[in-house]
Amino acid sequence: MWIEKRHIYLLTCINSYILDLTMSKLILSARPADQADIFERAAELFSVLSTPMRLHILNALSSQPKSVTELLHEIETTQPNLSQHLGVLYRSGILNRRKDGAQVIYSVQSQKAMALCRSVCTQIAIEIDEPGNVSSDQRLSTRAQQGK
């Protein structure tokens, strides 16, 4: 790959910094009622994206629309489970769907959800790949033992 992981990390950090500055200015300049609405909507988005299966679905749909059958070949799960998660993502406005004969084709509708998913997952993938990295499970276990 022509882009090294350290370059991806640097770009991710720069992007996060720019978003932090922009977000801080927008939130600070908003009225308290608008701030509450901003945080409520963000919490709703985080709630919808809080399931690993839904992140996996977004990743699978990031490059192109796919049918339920194609998604089942790519994601290890059952058809009822996949359909349940697709329904949640569709009803929340993150995914779009259309019929093509007997097939239902899903695509990403919310670019903000896709950008959030990409940003967080890329950062975690970089951290996992770093030498001497302590896994998330180990960090969470240590925090739980310390009572934090």
* Section 59-69 average pLDDT: 96
pTM: 0.70
Helix (H) or strand (E) holding 96: strand 95-100
Please give the full DSSP string across 27-63, using - where no structure is assigned: HHHS-HHHHHHHHHHHHHHHHHTTSHHHHHHHHHHSS
Q: Does domain 5-127 have CATH number 1.10.1760.20?
A: no
Please report which residue ranges of the chain form alpha helices under DSSP H.
Answer: 5-29, 32-48, 52-61, 68-74, 79-91, 111-129, 136-146
Q: Note the pLDDT of residue 1.
A: 45
Q: What's the pLDDT tens digit per position in 18-58? A: 555 566 666 666 677 777 787 888 889 999 999 999 999 99
More confident residue, 87 or 137: 87
